[in-house]
Amino acid sequence: MKVGFVFHIHQPVGNFRHVMEAAFEECYRPMLDVLASHEGMKCGLHISGSLLEWLENNHPRYIEKVSELCRSGRMELLTGGRYEPVLTVFHGDDVRKQVEAFSDHLETISGARPAGLWLTERVWEPWLASVLADAGVRWVVVDDIHLERAGVGRMDMFRPCMTGDGRGTVRLLAGSMEMRYMVPFAPAGRVVEWLKKQRDAGVGLVFYGDDGEKFGVWPGTGELCYDRGWLHEFFGILESLGWLDIILPSRAAGMPAAGPFCVPAGSYREMNEWTVHPDHAESYGRAKAALESAGLKDSAGHLLAGGTWRNFLVRYPESGELHGRVLASRDMVLKSGDASALEHYRKSQCNCAYWHGVFGGVYLPHLREALWREINLAERIALEKTNGFPGVEPVDTDCDGERETRIITRGMSLVVRTFRGLTVGQLAFFTPDGSPVVLGDVLSRRREAYHDEISDEGPTEGAIGTIHSNMGSKEEGLASGLIFDRWKRTCFTSLVMPADSGLTEWMSCGDTVKVLRGIPNGLSTTENGETLIFRGDFSMPGIVLRKEVSVSLEEPVLRLGAEWITTSYRRVGIEICLNLLAGNAPDRFYAVNGGRKHEMAASGVFRVSRLEVVDLYRKAAVVIEAESPCDLWVAPIESVNRSESGFERVHQGTAFLFSGVAEPGVSIAMKLTMSMRSPEEAE
């Protein structure tokens, strides 16, 4: 019997250097050393472009060693989208060019052009077949669930399978889910017994494809794989088996193929389940349990398909907006013909910050910020190249059927949502050297199905298991700290609440807090050459609001004008949410009326005429000045979410509510000027 291995290693665009260094020392380097020491081992290796770039710059000897193994015939490299995008959600021509460019680079390392592709998160859609074939790809790594859902018989699951879309074909190599759950968590001998069982059943090929991080990065696996020697033992046993032939994946892909089959859209089992909306997760779980209790456990995975990866772009509107922004910028970037703009554009497609399963993904602010930085850089460079400032264009980045206005000047970038209450989103400030500082990337908190599993108890010690095992809380009190946002946390949101409301009602997003949003009456947009002005009226029972948002096309300045008339006493206000990426860092703070510095995670109640929000780390500041003093409430926005090591609290931004109490029949006005500048200028 033959066995083939592919290991995939990846670090997302924008990840912390210390995280990448730890992954290298604890996983990538020792894993490669163990592989190299077993001369009978052969495998495929996929290194994502973002990680490869970092390794080439920081650990070139690692790349040299990979090259040596490839040229000796013991390893081969797999291609993919260079910066690990989910291929199915971007333009087919862009996918082809990105794969081709990455293959060109990998050929210089390995000496051979890759024929196989590591499919990002194994997210497949049928139309990929011809695009990948045109890019020179001959075989693709998927999971066995892909073939099960295509109706492939059991024995054909252990062979390469053909698929196509009428314009091109590729071969699919399906990794065994059963084997990836055993490796490296079951004793090495038990894995070998399972392989022997497959051989005795007449299986000619077993294929394994999974993340390399499970050999050192996942909790407890460094001790298991290296201190206890699991990986060395496993490879040694495989080499000693006379009935087992360890082959390169390209040779596995070249074996007689089954098919053709029509493989539906999907990913690996866990991903398909993660995409299910929380409102349906409980019923999905019951249906799965019913199938398992009926003796159909092995069939549950393909009989209950779950969702598709695209669901994340709806479940997390922040992901959908980023994705829409990338698509909307495509023509601008391509028109510029600038190679640097194109590279930043491709980096903005890195998948990790678009979704959430076990890993933090969309919940990790530094990963989201990195992608917003990349698309802002791509746009700014493209506009510089084409002399296109200011760039003002109607776009629909959130795919709600209504167009927003994207505005890019030399000093800032933002989107005005005229049909979402005249709010401002996707806010970034350009420093004098052109570096974008992403300020408006605040993640609204939403219910997750796993929130029911969170305990208020602190960390617990447990045995080594897969990241799909139940995890404990990383701190006490998480369950009681859950808050879900009833409105999108962005800039210039208009709020109304009872006059006697306090900080707690607003912080907890209580039902008494109302949002004036939707399509304004009498909407108008005017431009005088220097300023773009949006006006509109909003109403709800007992309240009328006249609102104006002005965007300077020359300086990084926004102005907000609001006038309310109510029929009863009400607290009315404007909410501005900003994200400085850390709640308790001493180099990020806010100050009221030039007073003492407060951490971004510190709540408070103030009387304000001037607010300074300072980010010394990224060298930017936001100054908000009120024409007349008003009340200021401040609250941190903190999510409670799952990570590979347990449930944790993550700072997603800080909300500032400028408000006052309106008297019946008496208008109350508020004028705010919001400017972005360097910290020195803010003093």
Q: What is the pLDDT of residue 682?
A: 73
DSSP 350-363: BGGGG--SSS-GGG
Helices (H), 111-240: 128-134, 144-149, 177-182, 188-200, 221-222, 230-240
Q: What is the C-alpha separation between 96 and 379, in angstroms, rounded?
A: 22
Structure tokens at 58: 């920081």
Q: Per-residue confidence at 518, pLDDT binned at 50, 70, 90? A: confident
Residue carrying structure tokens 């206005």: 405
Buried b (16+ CB within 10 A) or exposed e, 579-602: bbbbbebeebbbbbeeeeebbbbe
Q: Could you tell me the pLDDT band of residue 214, with boundaries at 50, 70 and 90?
A: very high
What's the pLDDT band for 465 if we cut at 50, 70, 90? Answer: low
The pLDDT of residue 464: 52
Query: Where residue 632 falls among pLDDT bands split at 50, 70, 90?
Result: very high
Per-residue pLDDT averaged across 336-352, rounded? 98
What CA–CA distance (Å, rounded) separates 64 from 59?
9
Q: What is the pLDDT of residues 467-494, one digit of tens each?
A: 555 567 888 889 988 999 999 999 999 9
Name the residue among 341, 434, 326 with its Cα closest to residue 382: 341
Helix (H, G, I), strand (E, B) or coil at 670: strand
Predicted confidence (pLDDT) at residue 303 exceeds the cutoff of 90: no
The predicted pLDDT at position 605 comes to: 98
Question: Is the pLDDT reported for residue 251 higher than 70?
Answer: yes
Question: Which of the four pLDDT bands, split at 50, 70 and 90, describes residue 466?
Answer: low
pLDDT at residue number 469: 54
Say yes or no to pLDDT of 409 above 70. Answer: yes
Segment 572-602, tens digit of pLDDT: 999 999 999 999 999 999 999 999 999 999 9
pLDDT at 455: 83
**pLDDT score, position 468:** 53
Cis previous bond, 390, omega within 30:
yes
Closest CA to 80 of 25, 117, 124: 117
Q: Please report the pLDDT score of residue 519 as a whole number.
A: 82
Q: What is the pLDDT of residue 359?
A: 79
Q: pLDDT at residue 463 above 70?
A: no
Mean pLDDT of 558-570: 97
For 525-533, what is the mean pLDDT? Answer: 93
Mean pLDDT of 506-525: 92
> Using H for helix, E for strand and C for coil, what is the string for 198-258?
HHHCCCCEEEEEEEHHHHCCCCCHHHHHHHCCHHHHHHHHHHHCCCCEEECHHHHHCCCCE
Q: Structure tokens of 354?
A: 């678009």
Percent of the chain exceeding pLDDT 90 equals 88
Residue 360 has what pLDDT?
82
- The model's pTM is 0.95
Q: What is the pLDDT of residues 118-140, one digit of tens each?
A: 999 999 999 999 999 999 999 99
Percent of the chain past pLDDT 70, that is, above it, reads: 98
Q: Give me 303's structure tokens.
A: 């009989």
* Tens-place pLDDT, residues 6-41: 999 999 999 999 999 999 999 999 999 999 999 999
pLDDT band at residue 515, thresholds of 50, 70 and 90? very high
CA distance 30 to 225: 9
Domains and CATH numbers, the chain: 2-263 (3.20.110.20), 268-310 (no CATH), 317-446+473-682 (2.70.98.10)
pLDDT at 467: 56
Q: How far apart are CA 25 and CA 216, in angstroms?
A: 9
Side chain identity at residue 387, one-letter code: N
Chain mean pLDDT for the chain: 95
What does the alpha-carbon distance between residue 183 and residue 238 come to, in Å, rounded to a whole number? Answer: 13
pLDDT at 473: 85
Q: What are phi and psi of 313, to 5 degrees?
A: -70, -15
